Structure 1
């Protein structure tokens, strides 16, 4: 179950999956997002997303560098746009305690923070070493995320409208009662039209697909499903939270340029492969923390 902590100077820090980890490690993970969020908040509304991101990265690194674990960064968000980042392959932690994979985004929603718009968060996830999927060179992924009612019901090979109908039937409600979060990007124009034609409410967000993923996997929130193409690094981070929450997450690589597609093929990626949440994080012992920035 999610745990909320209003301390550390941020409005609320959410921790998911804490029960399976040592208390001192949970505290360090929680404190790392709180520190990153506080550092980024100094840049909110100042129009400089790079400075906000860099401040969050430095603050998070300062905490996790001494955390009681031996961690390797698998997802250092920022590679796709050359943003400040905790680098892939970077070793973090004190070297004492469990061996872990780390996925981080010290500031998910950099533009939201720069413009003082809601939805920017600091997030980190850890899992036992070797259990996180490394997307290596494919920066975008098609995602379909929902609560536990979608297990065995949703299928990326079907149309968005068909998945909407199937999920509504599984929940025992009408399609018109469902709200689908979609990133507000030109690539989603046809998806948005199809969902609206099917009767769903479409909640458009400029950035921050980690937050909407968590909302979709959590019963009783304003978001029922997430659909569309977002970042692969964010997808792996979100998968840790979705798995701990018992939700459903399906994915498929979605290169957004010819160069990215060529790189994927050169790396031996199967672009037709369908991923389930257990493919993105193989362990059920994922630990996730999130602190709001805006």
Structure 2
């Protein structure tokens, strides 16, 4: 019989890919229909069904929906068949509900699975996030550092001027100070209306700046 590590390795590949696929496919007919909650509900229902078919003892430790009373897999919810490895799950069945409802790019189904007890149990609150692309020294940017410091540190590490850096920032009033500071360095900003997870993924593409 496979041990927990082997089982978890399999779950983190094909099985989890199928879970996100199920959520994404469930939203297909609702793209551009203008109903965010219906699309979100379809994704949540599909992801829950797919997760409950997996041979895991899963616990949702990070989810979405509490802030705006949207459909959700709730924090603490148990998923899976109840057999197999114990795992923690962080997920958002439809990240970018507005994007989906408006038929705009970058709405995605997201999930992370890890060994039980290894993921932070976090409430559904806004969090500060920062990400850079590959090939850079660890710790080159820091959430506790001023945005100006981060831009200059990144430019130095990439051996470019700050004006050659493009920062992707969620367009929200709470980010006004960050936006002002980043622009003061000469760096460009790509403002996005929703879908910050997709923004993080785009940092892996060297052509995005």
| TM-score, scaled relative to structure 1 | 0.65
Q: How does 1:202-281 map to 2 (within 5 A)?
A: 202-216=189-203, 218=204, 220-222=206-208
Residues 25 and 67 of structure 1 are in contact (CA less than 8 Å); yes or no, is this contact kept in structure 2?
A: no
Count residues in correspondence: 203
Is 1:98 aligned to 2:85, yes or no?
yes
Is 1:38 aligned to 2:25, yes or no?
yes
Q: Which deviates more from structure 2 when the two are superposed, residues 60-69 or residues 20-29?
A: 20-29
Listed one character per residue, the Cα deviations across residues 97-118 of structure 1 (whole Å, up to 9, x for unaligned) are 2210001100000011111111
Greater relative contact order structure (CA < 8 Å, 6+ sep): 1
Counterparts in 2 of 1:42 and 1:93: CA distance versus 1, 3 Å: same
Which residue, 80, 85, 88 being the options, matches 2:75? 88
Listed one character per residue, the Cα deviations across residues 17-56 of structure 1 (whole Å, up to 9, x for unaligned) are xx99443663221111111111112111111000000000
* C-alpha distance in structure 1 between counterparts of 2:107 and 2:30, whole Å: 12
Specify every segment of 5 or more residues in structure 1 that has no aligned partner in the other structure, as ranges.
1-18, 225-294
* C-alpha distance in structure 1 between counterparts of 2:13 and 2:67, whole Å: 29
Aligned to 1:157: 144
Counterparts in 2 of 1:28 and 1:207: CA distance versus 1, 3 Å: same
Q: Name whichever structure is richer in strand by fraction.
A: 1
Is 1:171 aligned to 2:158, yes or no?
yes
RMSD: 1.9
* C-alpha distance in structure 2 between counterparts of 1:189 and 1:118, whole Å: 24
Counterparts in 2 of 1:186 and 1:129: CA distance versus 1, 3 Å: same
Residues 7 and 84 of structure 2 are in contact (CA less than 8 Å); yes or no, is this contact kept in structure 1?
A: no
Q: Which has the larger radius of gyration?
A: 2
Listed one character per residue, the Cα deviations across residues 56-85 of structure 1 (whole Å, up to 9, x for unaligned) are 011111111011211100012111211100
Aligned to 1:255: none
Which residue, 52, 57, 61 being the options, matches 1:65? 52
Aligned to 1:144: 130
